[in-house]
Amino acid sequence: MAQTLLFNALRAAIDEEMDRDSTVCVMGEDVGHYGGSYKVTKDLYQKYGELRVLDTPIAENSFTGMAVGAAITGLKPIIEGMNMGFLLLAFNQIANNAGMLRYTSGGNFKIPMVIRGPGGVGRQLGAEHSQRLEAYFQAVPGLKIVACSTPYNAKGLLKAAIRDENPVLFFEHVLLYNLKDDLPEEEYVLPLNKAEVFRRGKDVTILTYSRMRHHVIEAIKKLEKEGYNPEAIDLISLKPLDLETIGESIRKTHKVI
C-alpha cells in the first residue's frame, strides 16, 4: 500500500492505461508541456510524446468534436476540461455527437471517450470556474456520469472509464485533489455502475457523492452521539444510478436523506 494524493491517483490511472493500450490519448488545454492545470497529466507528454498528449487551442467545442471523431476511428481519447464549467462551450458535441452517435448510427459507431476535469466551489475562482454541471448532462442519452470522492475510487473508476465503450463524464472536485489515501500496489479496476455503502446502519439512508461524502462522515459523528445509526451511500455513478443498492438500503431503513 502506498499513500497517494487524489490527483496523482488520477495521473497513475491515465499513465497505466496509456502504457497498456496504445490507442489511449489525452487532449486538452495545457495538458502537454504544462502538465494540466492541476498537474494530473504531468510528465505524460515527455513519456508518450505530442501525438498522444496533445495541447489544444482554447476551443472546447472544437477539440471535443475532434475527440469524438478520434473515438469513432478506434482511438480512446481522454479530454481534460481545464474547468468543468467550460463544458458548456462543448455541449453540442457532447450531447448531439458523443452521446447520440452510437444510436443514430444504428450501433455502427462506438464512442469510447472520457471527458474529465475539476469543478466545485471553495477556491475563490469565480462563478464560471466553480460550477458542477452533473444535472445539465443527466438528460443527454448515451452518456455515463461518474463522480470520484477518494484517491482509491478515483484511480479504479478512471481506469474503468477509459476502457468503457461509451462516453463517460468523469467529475472531480477541485478541493479533493490533495486528499491522501492508501492505494494497493497491484492493479485494480472498479465498476462504473456501482454505488458504495461506506457505512452500514439501520435508522436512515444518507445518499451523497463527491466532496459531500466527507461532510457526511463528519455529520455522522454527531448523529452517533445522539444515538442514531445511519447508513451512508456514495452514489459514485450518477448515470445510471445504482438503484439496486439504493433500494436495498431504503427497504431496510424506510427513510432517506
| Percent helix, percent strand, percent coil in the chain, to nearest 5 | 40, 20, 40
**DSSP code of residue 35:** -
- Residues serving a catalytic function are 60, 129
Are the CB atoms for 144 and 238 separated by under 8 Å?
Answer: no
Return d(Cα 13, Cα 60) in angstroms, integer.
23
Q: How far apart are CA 5 and CA 8, in angstroms?
A: 5
Question: Which of 70, 67, 42 has its CA nearest to residue 56?
Answer: 67
Please answer whether residues 84 and 29 qualify as being in contact, where contact means their C-beta atoms are separated by less than 8 angstroms. no
Helix, strand, or coil (residue 152): helix
Q: Scanning the structure block, which residue is given the C-alpha cell 464560471?
A: 128
- H/E stretch holding 181 reads strand 180-183
